[in-house]
Structure 1
Amino acid sequence: MQLEFCGEWFPLSGEEPFVIGREGVLEIDDNPYLHRRFLEVSRHDDLWWLENVGTRLSATVADPEGNTQAWLAPGARLPVVYARTTVLFTAGPTTYELTLVNDEPAYLPTRPADEPEAGETTIGPVSLTEAQLLLVLALAEPVLSGRGSTATIPTSAVAAERLGWTLTRFNRKLDNVCDKLHRYGVRGLRGGPGKLAVNRRARLVEHAVASRLVVPEQLPLLAAAREVAED
């Protein structure tokens, strides 16, 4: 097993847990919102496991094709069964992405004969309107532009300006997207009945990028939308 973060590779022996956080084998940075010990990768019963040993933050875990995705809450753990596993998490204003590469994966997916084109906006049962897609792209642009590194998710005001929208319109569309994904079982977009989660933008971006609801090839749509808004 190997781990890649920001172009740097770390071999994992399995003899002891590989710790990810402000402290540990992979010291990400001095972000005060990040746990000292957040994630651990270890080997038990002939399987590699990813465990969230933090108390507040969660991580989004998915295969590179976005066919499967899990939300790793504090105290939870998952087997790392794919050849490549993408892990995204947000601490404060910063979103991080790392990749686990398993030389002996327990699961090898079969590729369907007919695959959707990169520009399609459907993932599983969820489809986005044009405006909803643009909103998600505006929020996810820094992550999509710098895949495999760290990024700062824009505020609603900055993303609205990117699209040439009013903040009121942006927030209304954001409510709609979060409600739609919540109805389809995406966790972390609501803090409780009728109360949207404070970090919903980060969770929305993590889900959208990991599930390939948005992809880098769609980013030119943002410039086109801006031109239309200015006409």
Structure 2
Amino acid sequence: MTDLGDTVPPTAARPDGVTVEFAGELFTITRGERFTIGREGDLALDDNRFLHRHFLCIEETGGLWWLINIGSRLSATVTDTEGRVQAQLAPGARLPIVFAAMAVVFSAGPTTYELSVHIEQPAFRENVTHVDEDGVSTIGAVPLTISQKLLILALAEPLLRREGTGMSELPGSAKAAERLGWTLTRFNRKLDNVCDKLDRQGVPGLRGGVSSSATNRRVRLVEHAIASRIVTREDLELLDDPELVGNVE
């Protein structure tokens, strides 16, 4: 159960500051500053020719902090860190930073990046209560079984273990099935189940077949799972639990 607390009107309080975290580094932004993110800028990610020179910026306007896509081609997926709210930030779009912490995930060529944005005085205060049932992990409105979460972890493991790892390094179905001690048939059946479940929740790009669209489906599943915090780096220990891997139905 989630209690979404109170939203503070923009006129009730002025934002104090924002912190951006990437690969263990912290960058503090104060009022009156404009912070840019891209191949160059205040946060220079790396020399990736697929990445805009200036892709995102953060600035304060009208009593709120905003995340703005100043690029021309790339989009970013933005979620609150509990995974309950998700938005696609297209070129030219802007999004108010109203949660205490937000995750930003985007791909440029073969490389996927993840950074987090923290605000000192969020306009949105939340009181969250998680209710867990045996064998079920509830993330927002999507309940996942342990086996479904293990499947996503097996696919997302390279990205969760290393910042900036490209989607091209995602394991294929056969390799991920081997990691879990499953047959390929069992892996594909469970992949269909979790993709169908998320598709019914409105997550796009999860309808796949046996051609190249199957690869695209795995990429989209991992991208959504990381952006929505369905799986995190802390969950990786589940892959090494002998009581789970190979035994979960």
Q: TM-score range by the shorter chain?
A: 0.7 to 0.9
Structure 1 unaligned spans of 5+: none
2:30 match: secondary structure: coil
Q: 2:52 aligned with 1:29, yes or no? A: no
Query: Per the alignment, in what secondary structure is the counterpart of residue 177 of structure 1?
Result: helix
> 1:94 and 1:166 mapped to 2: Cα distance?
30
- Following the alignment from structure 1 to structure 2, what is the Cα–Cα distance between the partners of residues 141 and 103? 31
Structure 1, residues 22-66: CA drift from partner, whole Å, max 9, x if none?
A: 122211011233222221212111111112223333222122222
Q: Show the 5 A alignment for 1:104-123.
A: 104-112=121-129, 114-116=130-132, 120-123=136-139
Task: Say whether the 8 Å CA contact 2:135–2:145 is kept in structure 1.
Answer: no
1:180 aligned partner = 197
Map 1:148-167 onto structure 2 (within 5 A): 149-153=163-167, 154-157=170-173, 158-165=175-182
Distance 1:202 1:49, change over 3 A: farther
SS across alignment from 2:158 = helix
Percentage identity across paired residues of the two chains: 57
Give 5+ residue unaligned stretches, structure 2.
1-17
- CA distance, structure 1, for counterparts of residue 171 and residue 183 of structure 2: 13
1:204 aligns with 2:221: yes
Distance 2:192 2:52 in 1: 29
**Aligned residue among 92, 97, 101 for 1:80:** 97
- Partner secondary structure for residue 66 of structure 1: coil
Q: Whole-Å Cα distance in 2 between the matches of residues 187 and 30 of structure 1?
A: 30
1:126 aligns with 2:142: yes
CA gap 1:132/1:227 in 2 versus in 1, 3 angstroms = closer
Q: Could you say what secondary structure the match of 2:165 adopts?
A: strand
Task: State the one-letter code of the partner of 1:208.
Answer: A
Match of 2:61 among 44, 63, 74: 44
* Greater Cα radius of gyration, structure 1 or 2: 2
TM-score (norm. length: structure 1): 0.78
CA spacing shift, 1:14–1:170, aligned 2, 3 Å: farther
CA distance in 1, matches of 2:124, 2:68: 19
Match of 1:21, as an amino acid? Answer: G
Q: Is the 8 A contact 2:136 2:145 kept in 1?
A: no
Q: Is the 8 A contact 1:188 1:197 kept in 2?
A: no
In the TM superposition, residue 128 of structure 1 has moved relative to its aligned partner by: 3.2
**Letter paired with 2:229:** R
> What one-letter code is carried by the residue in structure 1 that aligns with 2:104?
V
Query: What's the Cα RMSD here?
Result: 3.2
Give the TM-score taking structure 2 as reference length.
0.73
